[in-house]
Copies of this chain bind each other. A is one copy, B any other.
Amino acid sequence: MSTPSPRIDGRTPEQLRPITIERGWSKHAEGSVLISFGDTKVFCTASVTEGVPRWRKGSGEGWVTAEYSMLPRSTNTRGDREAVRGKIGGRTHEISRLIGRSLRAVIDYKSLGENTIVLDCDVLQADGGTRTAAITGAYVALADAVAWAQGKKLIKAGRKPLTDTVSAVSVGIVGGVPLLDLCYEEDVKADTDMNVVCTGDGRFVEVQGTAEAEPFDRKELNALLDLALGGCEDLANLQREALAATRQ
């Protein structure tokens, strides 16, 4: 690997952007977070309802799902609303499913009991890494919602529906250099782009790598995975700190 050229925003290759996690951003939702990864801002709410979808009734198990969306002017040029077009685009579908799977990886359905938690992740401002910010923020909203449900006795005493934390980060190779947590400008120039979702104990939940320009080899893949594991560890610490603070 060549000596890293300085990044657009002065970060080192293995450095996250400034991360902020504000809990309690909604007076209605059972859990809510405004998370920022630099200029990327995602508003995550967790909504708890008793009961589960029909195909799961009577199982004694809960369900967690997610929906992702971008506000029309969250990006540099305004995009059409999917509601106006009358259908959800492929990218939106894909990311919603990814967020749902990532959170379900740390849920013990039995302990959750027949309750459903829906995570809504709406991108207010986009600057790269919206899906990874969404997963990281949604986990915190989910944790607050689980605590709320425990307080309301919707979850049986002593049950711990959350088996671990989960966080996500993007990594990519830009100009031959593996970088952590790409902003939009870096993302556009990346040869390879990877999103990695990890549990708090450093195991993988999702690894999604895509050769945007040039196929990548095993060595490059390994360098990216190293970066991602470090980034997820940092994010897990920030999640724990945020949750340790008294909810405002």
Complex CA distance for A90 and B73, rounded to whole angstroms: 22
Contact status B120-A73, CB under 8 Å: yes
Contact status B83-A124, CB under 8 Å: no
Contact status B28-A73, CB under 8 Å: yes
Contact status B209-A206, CB under 8 Å: yes
Interface residues of A, count at CB 8 A: 65
A223 at the interface (CB under 8 A from B): no
A185 at the interface (CB under 8 A from B): no
Task: Give chain A interface residues in 7-59, CB to chain B under 8 Å.
Answer: 26-29, 32, 39, 43, 45, 47, 49
Contact status B204-A209, CB under 8 Å: yes
How many whole Å from A215's CB to the nearest CB in chain B? 4
Chain A contacts to B: CB under 8 angstroms? 26-29, 32, 39, 43, 45, 47, 49, 67, 69, 71-78, 81-84, 86-94, 96-97, 101, 105, 118, 120, 122, 124-127, 194, 198-199, 201-211, 215-218, 221, 225, 229
